[in-house]
Structure 1
Amino acid sequence: MRNTRRLALAAVAAFPLMAALPAASAADFGATATGTAFSPNPVQQLGDQSLTDAKDADYAALAPAYRQSTLTDLDGSGSLTGRYVRVKSDTGKAARIDGGALPAYHRDSDQFEQVMGYYWVTTAQRYLQHLGFGSGLRPVNQRQIELRINQYGGDNSFFRPDKANITLGKGGVDDAEDAEVIVHEYGHSVQDGQVTGFGTNLESGAIGEAFGDYLAVAVTSWATGTPAKTPEPCVADWDSVSYTSGPTHCLRRLDGTKHYPEDVRGEVHADGEIWSRALWDIRQALGDARASTLIVEAQFAFAPDTSFKAAAEATVAAAQRLYGATAARAATDAFAARGIL
């Protein structure tokens, strides 16, 4: 999940989305099960920057990071199929639920990544609903997506708008072992669900990468608590041990100092750090719930090829509409500090 990842999004964004799934009642997805997962990843949980992939080994230092978790919104079939995600994996047997529980899979089993993927996509959707999307606010991405686990051999993951699915790669640390990688990719699905084909040029693509990073941090902090042993704005602490030298492992950070336009590099992940810092500053000023709500709500007004400036103006307008002048000023200040407004 380096800065070379997810480069094909704009090229496939013009394809039509898959047909909508048949409507189902809430009762069709009322099953739950217990399973084992990282919450959100071993480096963040344990504060141990020396952890390594060790070729997918399950070694003693990782043992305290496994947590029993409750998987919700399942269809009751015994498979990892639910209201918001269905898991597909060709590299190992499908995880099976028996008597309301999954075996205690660990990272040396392909089924562990299947459980992680299901749990964290559902958690991300639950986070959006916790903000009011689907109740007081319009729904966001409340569709069932396909999550493909370990079907790409490289150290990369990506969302495909033409099929509305996410693929999580298995190079280095398997991407599905890090909740922040999973949720980052779900962020692309969220934006595509709001604006079909979002991310068709450099600036909108950078906004997409930035939002994925922001959502990854927001969701994992909401679900597990603000990290006490690693920096909260550090994204994908565990996945990045395979390709960063440390001493702190981060794919990217939300609290960088890049400024528009002099720090633009013409690469969506690098340039996204300009936008993500603005989102981080809004969150610091307004708190998670208000900041994330206005950030997500604003995206309904984006165009597929939106510019930084147009997207910033839409975000300020959403802040004003939802929370008034103080919130709008906080958003304006955050974008002005990055040179966007």
Structure 2
Amino acid sequence: MRRSLALTAVALVAALIPATRAGAAVTSAQATVFAPSPVQTLGRQDLTDAKDADLPVFAAAYRRVTLTDLDGSGALAGRYVAVKSATGKAATLVDGAFPAWHRDSDQFEQVMGYYWVTTAQLYLQHLGFGSNLRPVNQRQIELRIDQYGGDNSFFRDDKANITLGKGGVDDGEDAEVIVHEYGHSVQDGQVPGFGTTLESGAIGEAFGDYLAVAVTSWATGAPTLTPEACVADWDSTSYTSTTPHCLRRLDGNKHYPADVIGEVHADGEIWSRALWDIRGALGDTHATTLIVEAQFAFAAETTFAAAARATVDAAQRLYGATAAAAARSAFTARGLL
């Protein structure tokens, strides 16, 4: 086995699972997922979608997990997410658990969506958001599976929902795609309508990439067979030819303003590298806490420079001069301060 489940994540999930009385509605249940993807779990760069076929090679990538915070209806709906699918029957409990669906079943992606959105919210709570810090995105969002035919996914702030596409590798099969889109929901929950300009939009894409890696590494352990900084390395097998397959990376060397091209995903790699360096200097817990806390001070149309200053201020406020210096150094190295 490549890695074991991170003890911090296991302990948190166990603590948040309420005891279920005999005859009471089921609020937690077992289900099967990729954790976070077969490429990371198996270290196989030669995997392909094969039209959703459940080939023998995928067998070792499935994990049995506990879904928490269910609403007791028997469906994939709960405190933080309600799943809707345009294809196949809706996933429902059978004898108190969700069947062990695999990737050739539509219900597999439904379970993936529920599990990883909930896990992302539990990660934020683990950092203190909602206890000693302000709540972040503690609302129920709608997650729409396979309702877009292209190889793309998106968050709609007007409806507070996420749509996962089904082109190539279905986006619902890659935890990092799911959590990336949840990152947009997080920022919208903090600053409604966030991302109205090229620079704020780039910050949004970068934060989604950063959160995707932070959450999956927290929940399943940092990968050892693939680069941790490589984002969505299962979904990206459908549209990349070089290895490792990456949608984007957090450890690139882009610099502002020389490498700005006016496209939010590409320009976001400048911001995400700064966040990655802050994480490297301060560790995941302190880095992500100050990064998320800073976003409460962003404007919907924030600039790179203004957001960088707000992040340094949050580091100073939460952890003092050493943390502020680390954040400032990371942004200065990218030309953002």
Q: Same fold (TM over 0.5)?
A: yes
Instruction: Assess if the C-alpha contact under 8 Å between 2:25 and 2:73 holds in 1.
Output: no
Give, in whole Å, the separation in 2 of the partners of 1:253 and 1:317: 26
1:146 aligns with 2:137: no
Residue 11 (structure 2) aligns with: none
Q: TM-score by structure 2 length?
A: 0.93
Instruction: Assess if the C-alpha contact under 8 Å between 1:29 and 1:82 holds in 2.
Output: no
Out of 204, 214, 219, which is 2:215 matched to?
Answer: 219
Q: CA deviation at 1:29?
A: 9.1
Where 2:69 maps in the other structure, the secondary structure is strand
Counterparts of 1:160-239 in structure 2, within 5 Å, are 160-239=156-235
Counterparts of 1:91-130 in structure 2, within 5 Å, are 91-130=87-126
Q: Which amino acid aligns with 1:284?
A: G
| Count of residues paired in the alignment | 317
Instruction: Assess if the C-alpha contact under 8 Å between 2:84 and 2:144 holds in 1.
Output: yes
| Residues 54-80 of structure 1, C-alpha deviations (whole Å, 9 max, x = no match) | 011110111100000100000111000
Give, in whole Å, the separation in 2 of the partners of 1:320 and 1:29: 45
Q: CA deviation at 1:268?
A: 0.0
Where 2:167 maps in the other structure, the secondary structure is coil
| Residues 276-322 of structure 1, C-alpha deviations (whole Å, 9 max, x = no match) | 00000000000000000000000000000000000000000000000
Instruction: Assess if the C-alpha contact under 8 Å between 1:49 and 1:247 holds in 2.
Output: yes
Counterparts of 1:281-292 in structure 2, within 5 Å, are 281-292=277-288
Where 1:31 maps in the other structure, the secondary structure is coil
Residue 155 (structure 2) aligns with: 159
Give runs of ≥4 in structure 1 deviating > 2 Å.
26-30
Instruction: Assess if the C-alpha contact under 8 Å between 1:29 and 1:83 holds in 2.
Output: no
Give, in whole Å, the separation in 1 of the partners of 2:112 and 2:168: 17
Where 2:154 maps in the other structure, the secondary structure is strand
Out of 33, 40, 46, which is 2:42 matched to?
Answer: 46
Residue 249 (structure 2) aligns with: 253
Q: Which amino acid aligns with 1:117?
A: G
Give, in whole Å, the separation in 2 of the partners of 1:184 and 1:29: 31
Residue 135 (structure 1) aligns with: 131
Q: CA deviation at 1:30?
A: 7.2
Q: Which amino acid aligns with 2:281?
A: A
Give, in whole Å, the separation in 2 of the partners of 1:202 and 1:265: 10
Instruction: Assess if the C-alpha contact under 8 Å between 2:255 and 2:334 holds in 1.
Output: yes
1:242 aligns with 2:238: yes
Where 2:68 maps in the other structure, the secondary structure is strand
Q: CA deviation at 1:247?
A: 1.9
Give, in whole Å, the separation in 2 of the partners of 1:74 and 1:200: 34
| Residues 34-61 of structure 1, C-alpha deviations (whole Å, 9 max, x = no match) | 0000000000010000000001111011
Q: Which consecutive residues of structure 2, in runs of 5 or more, have no partner in the other structure?
A: 1-18
Instruction: Assess if the C-alpha contact under 8 Å between 2:26 and 2:74 holds in 1.
Output: no
Q: CA deviation at 1:125?
A: 0.1
Identity of aligned residues (%): 80
Counterparts of 1:2-17 in structure 2, within 5 Å, are none
Q: Which amino acid aligns with 1:87?
A: V
Q: CA deviation at 1:100?
A: 2.0
| Residues 180-200 of structure 1, C-alpha deviations (whole Å, 9 max, x = no match) | 000000000000000000000
Out of 60, 83, 88, which is 2:79 matched to?
Answer: 83
| Residues 249-280 of structure 1, C-alpha deviations (whole Å, 9 max, x = no match) | 00000000000000000000000000000000
Q: Which amino acid aligns with 2:96?
A: G
Residue 336 (structure 1) aligns with: 332
Relative contact order: is structure 1 or structure 2 higher (C-alpha 8 Å, sep ≥ 6)?
1
Give, in whole Å, the separation in 1 of the partners of 2:167 and 2:132: 41
1:298 aligns with 2:294: yes
Residue 19 (structure 1) aligns with: none
Moved more, 129-138 or 240-249: 240-249
Instruction: Assess if the C-alpha contact under 8 Å between 1:35 and 1:102 holds in 2.
Output: yes
Instruction: Assess if the C-alpha contact under 8 Å between 1:263 and 1:271 holds in 2.
Output: yes
Give, in whole Å, the separation in 2 of the partners of 1:207 and 1:215: 12
Q: CA deviation at 1:206?
A: 0.0
